[in-house]
Structure 1
Amino acid sequence: MTFKIITDSTADLDEKWAQSHDVEILGLHITLDGVVYETVGDKRLTSEVLLEQMKNGSKPTTSQINVGQFEEAFRRHAESGQAVLYLAFSSVLSGTYQSAVMAREMILEEYPEAVIEIVDTLAAAGGEGYLSILAAQARDEGKNLEETKAMIEDVLPRLRTYFLVDDLYHLMRGGRLSKGSAIIGSLVNIKPLLWLAADGKLLPIAKVRGRKKGMKEMLSLATQDLAHKTAIVAYSTDLDSAQTLKENLLENPMIDEVLIVPLGPVISTHVGPGTLAVFTIGKEAR
């Protein structure tokens, strides 16, 4: 019997794509100007609205998926006898993964025969989305849950994640980066380049003067040691630069497909306007 793939709204997957590929998305929440918003469904907060409010001085915050949300989702599939593979937002960046683990233990007490597998992707945004896409492709090709999980666990250490941000203030405000590291984001025309390290921590790796140089450096790092022919480019507010990154990536003979996706509201809350990101898969663990 086939299995259900679940991920969360930090994967920045298109909801229509997710529905057509039988991928369930659970949503984190965002508090903006005192109002709590969903990040999945027809009433979800869009990145466009969020980023415009941030430009006007709003300081949104995010809330992890709680145990109750996971319990409801896992119970629904346990009752129907469907196995679940949940690909979780990095445990280093959110408590969402731990909530899922707690809910799994509770459901297994009620339904000992249920199959609920959880993978800490140590990824975010298009990287987490990339893994979700690969999982759906594997399932469609006939791989079972165990085979798909093993494939994802093989790929995730080789996932490359690079962010070029305009200002590190938002990451510092949300506790994803230390105040000391964020100081470089206030320097004139210095564009901080960050990456997700092997342990899932978001770390600054370069201080580049000017956006064009920052994009060039990010491309250089992201295209080393490539193992997959697909790359993902993500953006908040600057689609033109994302298109430029796509064109440059396609000049590389090792890449034959580039997906452009907008950064979702959860990730946008922490990186702010003007952010660009590139996600690729290498041959060796990062």
Structure 2
Amino acid sequence: MSSSITVRDCSTKWLFWQLSNLQLHLARQGDEMKQLVQIVTDSSCDLPRRVIEKFKIEVVPLIVRFGTEVYRDGELAVEEFWKKAKELHHPQTSQPSVGAFEEAFERLIAQGKRVLCVTVTGKHSGTFNAARLAAQRFGEAVQVVDSLSVSLGTGLQVLRAAQAALPGCSMQEILALLDDLRARMRLTIVLDTLENLRRGGRAAVFIGAADRMAQAFNIKAIVNLVGGQLRLQGAARSFRGGLKRIVRETEQLRPLEYLAVVHARIPERAEEMADWLAERTGFPREQIWVEETGAVMASHAGAGVLGVLAVPARVVAG
């Protein structure tokens, strides 16, 4: 009797184990079937690795050069990048090849996905054009969007797109979401120096006059993005003064949906800036994202740069 009970018990346990495995398999299949759109971006978006992995974002790396040394963005740890930036040539970046985007698109389409690729602004990088050219081979299976922003300005759009894609939002729904987000977001940056921008030629529209003014009066330039183009918004007599000006301007955007601080090599100032923003705007401090920029923005803006990304709950004129 005891032997038959043992056999029956084992059989029951085996059956429940099989059913549990089947349920897990079906759940995983369901998740894969739900996600109809795969999000792709470039490595300048400054999203942390934990976010990229959690939301299954495909990242195509830009290229970083120190003279004859060539790396894919992300191959160098942050400390190693800055060590080379000090000891070797000034870092330069270039967009991914058309082939790099083609390889990523082809692999994802083979998995039955449509692809939405969100890139850094095409006004300051050839990355958007490289992705657009690659997409032509795949017809309607691939859509390419110019974020009209940089760093976390691109990254937030990528994140929101990925969050919408996971539960199964359609391509058109995600594109509409991004249009609304871009219309509201503001990215404002204080530069400790204009030297890196001058070297890279990324802000030729204003760099001449601003650089002369900065050198003559030791002021700090405040820039923003208008239609994807870097523009000189103003100047401050000190870096701290520039930060306080951004805080005042951000306060006028309330109520806010999202706030982030991005920086290069100034973590204490970035945390202090987040504290100021929370105090003046009422936005929860624990929800303000503070991140260090990666190699791409660092190469063009240099150490000491700090930016604030703000997304008002509604479109604000001006």
TM-score normalised to structure 1 length = 0.90
- Structure 1: runs of 5+ lacking an equivalent: 109-113
**Which of the residues 25, 36, 41 maps onto 1:7?**
41
Q: Aligned equivalents of 1:227 and 1:137: distance in 2?
A: 22
Q: Which has the higher contact order (CA 8 A, sep 6+)?
A: 1
**Which of the residues 211, 232, 252 maps onto 1:204?**
232
Q: How is 1:1-286 mapped onto 2 (pairs within 5 angstroms)?
A: 1-2=34-35, 3-40=37-74, 44-56=75-87, 58-108=89-139, 115-178=141-204, 179-180=207-208, 181-197=210-226, 199-226=227-254, 228-256=256-284, 257-282=287-312, 283-284=315-316
Q: Aligned equivalents of 2:164 and 2:317: distance in 1?
A: 21
Q: Aligned equivalents of 2:88 and 2:72: distance in 1?
A: 21
Q: Aligned equivalents of 2:252 and 2:225: distance in 1?
A: 15
How many residues of Structure 1 are paired with residues of Structure 2 in the alignment? Answer: 277
Identity of matched residues, % = 28
SS in 2 for 1:229: strand
CA contact (8 A) 1:167 1:186 kept: no
- For residues 201-233 of structure 1, the C-alpha deviation after alignment (integer angstroms, 9 at most, x for no partner) is 111111211121111012222343245432110
- Structure 2: runs of 5+ lacking an equivalent: 1-33
**Larger helix share, 1 or 2:** 2
Larger radius of gyration: 2
SS in 2 for 1:92: coil
Q: Aligned equivalents of 1:74 and 1:142: distance in 2?
A: 19
Amino acid in the other structure paired with 2:124? L
Q: CA RMSD in A?
A: 1.9
> Shift of residue 186 of structure 1?
2.6
> Shift of residue 177 of structure 1?
1.5
SS in 2 for 1:251: helix
Amino acid in the other structure paired with 1:160? R
